[in-house]
Chains A and B, each alone.
Chain A
């Protein structure tokens, strides 16, 4: 049987989510668009998403990476809930990255929770895209082993 897999047929899928009540979606939309231009399939959830909704979307879409944007300061609370939900749904293998107005001391706490990367305002798009791609590649290759 021929091997029919290639990433053009199955591009990396990224959820770009705005958790919580914060309405500042400029960054999330710019990143969503940049990822699309870089060949990703992007599911943008819109604003005012609960951790449940985001986890559910990631599971249904079988996403390779989840990107969360929060500029309301409620990142610790919401991301913790998201990671918990992902675990409940058996999706703890989906890497989570976070962007927003986040003090350095919170960056460390987020990483301890399992967040793979935290992006502060001003981060270069190229860096973000490269990292997301690397995380997606890693997730798929470990996934193949089951």
Chain B
């Protein structure tokens, strides 16, 4: 488990951290890109929303291989997050109607096999992302 400051400047390091483990786990370059993008979107949401207006927040990120899957967990102590309150983006709306909110979560769900949000565990939000090999 690594603690990262909840700042956008650390997204590079977060992508490298999960990408390195995915590479060691034999994931394809396409899957590694998907895993890095999903982790980036997840961490960006935590920084932007869970820690909105809260300085010096931290995100605890664990990443490991379990059987044929890569499992990433992100734990924060920010504002409780309820993903059911996030509207699904309308991907067929025309340009003027197109909303970008919710796109990060939508991409995470498309890119990963499992995306699970839990609230209240050890006070805070716990997000688990799973990508299976192949």
A in complex with B:
no
Q: Which residues of B contact A (CB under 8 A)?
A: none
